[in-house]
Structure 1
Amino acid sequence: MKFFWFFLLMVCFASGQTQYPKDYFGSPLDIPLQLSGNFGELRSNHIHSGFDFKTQQKEGFSVYAVADGYVSRIKISEIGYGKAIYITHPNGFTSVYGHLQSGFGELEKRIKKEQYKAKSYEIDVSLSSGDLMVKKGDVIAISGNTGGSDGPHLHFEIRDTQSEKIINPLYFGYDILIPDDKRPLINSLWVYPLDENAVVNQSKRPISVNLSLQDDGSYIAETINATGNIGFGITAIDYDNVSWNSNGIFRVQTFLNGKIDFGYQFDTFAFDETRYVNALIDYGRYKKLGQRVQKLFMKKPYPLSIIRPGASNGVINVANNISQSYRIEVADYSENISKIFIPIKYSNLPAKISEVPITSKYFIQAGRDNIFALENVTVSIPANTFLEDFYMDFEVKNGLAKVHEDVMPAFANFSITFEDSITPQRERDKLFIGLVDGKKTYFYNTKRYDNSFTIYTKYLGDYKLLRDGMPPKIKSDKRIGGKWISNLNELQFTISDDLSGIKGYDGYLNGKWILLEYESKTKKLIHRFSDGIVAEGKNDLKITVTDNVGNSTIFETQFFRSQKP
């Protein structure tokens, strides 16, 4: 059985090195490639699915088709990838380009056509193979900073067209353009007691382990004195030769007494499994301290395909009179490897550091349905929403429902229901349940059934039934009312809403619908006169902005513009 796990692991880890074409795809940019984020980097609630190529902290670079193919999808969103283009190639793969400022040439014309057809900035359009053909090296777009981007860059992916799984671009020869001879850096080592009888270095809580750097670049850990089932975790980063910033690691492999054990490798995965990054890391520590400890064990298996669990899911049983050796190897794609050697000895010394005391009476059994009610609030948690059993802190005070702290990751929706028979019927359509995080409130789409208000969420935290009676705000960035603005190329407005948030917006020039591009990061609405809707001379403008509970604001004005040179 152990030989089978070793064979399976080697086949899976090695197969990715040979099955993809190395010289088929070109570069999507004509500047030296540098990464601000790599494939497999651990992000909030997901694993990064491609490369983030730096664009010298600015927008406006030409983006090129990396191979022949056709534009198969155009997706424009206020969040996520922002403006994104998908190109399907005849070799069975699809390339993706995200956070674009705009399309280019005929592709940009098609984007505008689809937006005006849908009367929406956000579109998701599938195209046929004979529609928009491209050749390798064609300019398809201009790089930007749209959607959920934190700064100007190009997000780039390669997917299997049939399965839609994302594949590490390094397998396609991009390692030649991003050379790497630097070993990953292991920043910390952690050890976890995994059952009620486990004790590690006289602690029943996870503790950090001291590391000693050796002359050959490896590490030797302090001796682990333990009893019961234990597991390890690490924090680690990687560098390449040209990007000058840290990125995620490529592979982790562990060895128990010289035999291959738990490991994972960031080669390919599906989007529907990526939320399990919250099981891969110590989620509670991350939420409290911002530190992503990557766990090298599974107390309960979960469906993240990058993991090769070994025979025991990375759980090490430390028994009487048995000494064990444990080794962790962290590698990058170029096979630069960092190692930690960890001696493990049995110890029956009592714990000096006890478990965190339990103060709640609300016990969540992960494998069954759980329903709890307090005052006017009911929390319903379906079976297998969480991976582990735990005691949930739950209280309702001054209308605020404290549904534990967000330190336990949920992998399916659970519901929170507020009952309200006090608010007058005429005002109930302005009520919604919001997640309250300090001074910020996050709107949840709220379903109303008479006196009941229900949301579905994947986050523990503080929730409250709120009323939003205030309309959104619209402000023109420049005074245009009654003015000639022939020198302007666009109209720009700042919109905001103080509570439930912006849901929709529409604009009209002289009664015709106009495209308003919305950038949620800056709260800007922009209409470009190059769309060709503006009239010669007098123009009547109307903009309507609506929030998530139906409050709306109308902005109307008149301006003058000449389109003549």
Structure 2
Amino acid sequence: MKYIPLIFLFSIFSFAQNEYPKDYFRSPLDIPLQLSGNFGELRPNHFHAGFDFKTNQKEGLNVYAVADGYVSRIKVSTAGYGKAIYITHPNGYTSVYGHLQKAIGSIQEKIVALQYAEKSYEIEAFFKPGEMPVKKNDIIALSGNTGGSEGPHLHFEFRDNKTEKIINPLFFGIQTQDTKNPTVSSLLVYPLDNSAVVNESKRPVLLNLSLQSDGTYLAQQVFASGKIGFGIIAVDNDNVSYNANGIYKTQLISNGKVIFGFEFDTMVFDEAKYINAFIDYSRYKKMHQRVQKLFMKNPFPWSNIYQNYENGILNIVPNTSEIQRIEVSDFFINKTVISIPVKYSAKPALINEDTKVTKYLVKSKVESNFEKDNFSVYFPAGTFYEDFYLNFDVKNNTLFLHDDTVPAHSNFTISIEDTKSSEEEKKKMFIATVNGTKLGFITTKLVDNTFTCKTRNLGQFTLAKDITAPKISMSKSIEGKWITNQKSINVTISDDLSGVKTYNGYINDKWVLFEYESKLKRLTHVFNDDLLLEGSNKLKVVVTDNVGNSTIFETQFNRSQKK
């Protein structure tokens, strides 16, 4: 396969690029760059906040400082960006490097020193100018697969130092050959009020698309009455990466006027979860399709929407006969255009809406409280994006709280009263999600006889008790063995119910760093000769779960310090 490198040049296609520095930043890698994820791409529960660069399906590639600056932040976590380095540059921007295998040189020494000082693998530290300077072209780390990564790659971002907004890296000149138009695989039209009908249906209708001789698409005729909106399933491809990436810009145009549009120039980190309001979340959960809605039934303050007339909603009244247009563009102005003929029709619906009416109506702008038996649920105002009828019941000590097809924007509270369990039993109990026979831990507080938790997910919940300690094992025993030439040791840890909370390792009764890769359930310690004795050494690993059950693993190994 022939790879065409991403190149650091500046496009003349977008006026906005004039606001950003030219020829200032280098590539963070020294291989031809290919994207496995772009800026604003649709991800579970968030918009992607940078570029993901492929690393030839392996770890350990050199990662470079893209310009002079100083390390302003280091974060090591078992989730999210894993091992991440932030470099602040004197021109007002910060570059971010995530999912790293390890840092290099003085940065790695600082990380290890902090981990030993805090006796914790997971750390976060901030630094002032002059404390940890770096130069452009310095190797700062090796690429990896840590944190929430699903495969080896480098996550890379640019952020504005003042506003802390994340900026599309394309504005800094990271380009690729891209002559391909975005692909719109599906177009849907939605009836949006109780009286609305679309093609004799009160449910969303999938519209056929026909390619025209001029390269645009014509949608099948829409016959409607009442308020309607459109949604698309669309992706973007370039000539190099062969990945289905996110869309840069979309406009809905009515009578020559943009009535709804979004664009991924920058992003506010805290707004990433608005993706669940932006997409047809119910369809995504049921069919694994992400329909990007070009309307808002209830407006939400998402900064990437730059045009919003009547919230993108069209009111189809008698004598309406017009052509709506959707334009889907990438950063390089490759564009896909769809024309949609819309005409008023008074025909009644033959297909009724599938909303199930219950006696529990949740209004998104009003707080709600529901109780049954020893269970209660409190939804603060603004928990949900739209009103909906809630399925609420308690059976066999399990709370049935709707299902996961309705997204919550913020946390709500579940409370369960227990007057039967002993005080000792309660110490091992927590509120759990129920998914078939599988239980999931939720951080739970106990006050008197009431357990409470906060969550953003609807579904089934119950009180669970965990009295089983975590498991610790080694694939190959080192008991009594000489392992002088072994550079590291691995220990597998797991917990079947409440999950691992803490893990600590000791050699000769001194705390030592074990790195935790949660995806692999693996602890790894890289030997430091300064901590080892000639001959016999003791190893102890202590793992505790989220309700306090602990397991201690001990063994003895031999090692020679003589070189």
- What is the TM-score normalised by the length of structure 2? 0.96
| C-alpha distance in 2 between matches for 1:76 and 1:310 | 40
| C-alpha distance in 1 between matches for 2:222 and 2:329 | 24
Cα offset, 1:17, TM superposition: 3.0
Matching of residues 114-513 of structure 1 within 5 Å: 114-175=114-175, 178-513=176-511
| C-alpha distance in 2 between matches for 1:332 and 1:14 | 11
Q: Which amino acid counterpart does residue 331 of structure 1 have in structure 2?
A: S
Is residue 2:96 matched to residue 1:96? yes
Deviations 1:316-358 (A, max 9, x none): 0000011121100000000000010001000010101101142
- Does structure 1 retain, via aligned residues, the 8 Å contact 2:413–2:454? yes
| C-alpha distance in 2 between matches for 1:162 and 1:313 | 30
Number of residues of Structure 1 aligned to a counterpart in Structure 2: 551
| C-alpha distance in 2 between matches for 1:97 and 1:500 | 32
- Does structure 1 retain, via aligned residues, the 8 Å contact 2:225–2:315? yes
Cα offset, 1:397, TM superposition: 1.3
Cα offset, 1:534, TM superposition: 2.4
Q: Which amino acid counterpart does residue 265 of structure 2 have in structure 1?
A: D
| C-alpha distance in 2 between matches for 1:325 and 1:427 | 66
Per mean C-alpha deviation after superposition, the further-off stretch among 106-115 and 141-150 is 106-115
- Does structure 2 retain, via aligned residues, the 8 Å contact 1:250–1:333? yes
5+ residue gaps in structure 2? 1-12
- 2:518 corresponds to which residue? 520
- 1:5 corresponds to which residue? none
| C-alpha distance in 1 between matches for 2:271 and 2:529 | 40
| C-alpha distance in 1 between matches for 2:489 and 2:438 | 30
Alpha carbons of structure 1 residues 548 and 76: separation in structure 2 relative to 1, 3 Å? same
The alignment-based identity, stated in percent, is 58
| C-alpha distance in 1 between matches for 2:122 and 2:429 | 26
Cα offset, 1:415, TM superposition: 0.5
Cα offset, 1:442, TM superposition: 2.2
| C-alpha distance in 1 between matches for 2:530 and 2:42 | 44
| C-alpha distance in 2 between matches for 1:364 and 1:310 | 26
- Does structure 2 retain, via aligned residues, the 8 Å contact 1:22–1:171? no
| C-alpha distance in 1 between matches for 2:355 and 2:80 | 40
Cα offset, 1:542, TM superposition: 1.1
- Does structure 1 retain, via aligned residues, the 8 Å contact 2:17–2:172? no
- Does structure 2 retain, via aligned residues, the 8 Å contact 1:193–1:229? yes
Deviations 1:260-311 (A, max 9, x none): 2200001111111111010000011111111100000011110110012432
1:17 is paired with a residue whose SS is: helix
Is residue 2:77 matched to residue 1:77? yes
Deviations 1:392-447 (A, max 9, x none): 00111112111001111111111011111111221101000111223433211101
Cα offset, 1:359, TM superposition: 4.2
Deviations 1:6-54 (A, max 9, x none): xxxxxxx966332111311110000000000000001111100000000
2:276 is paired with a residue whose SS is: helix
1:313 is paired with a residue whose SS is: helix
Q: Which amino acid counterpart does residue 340 of structure 1 have in structure 2?
A: I
Q: Which amino acid counterpart does residue 138 of structure 2 have in structure 1?
A: D
1:16 is paired with a residue whose SS is: helix
2:312 is paired with a residue whose SS is: coil
Deviations 1:218-245 (A, max 9, x none): 1100010000000000000011111012
| C-alpha distance in 2 between matches for 1:535 and 1:225 | 82
Deviations 1:479-519 (A, max 9, x none): 11111111211110000000000000111111111001000
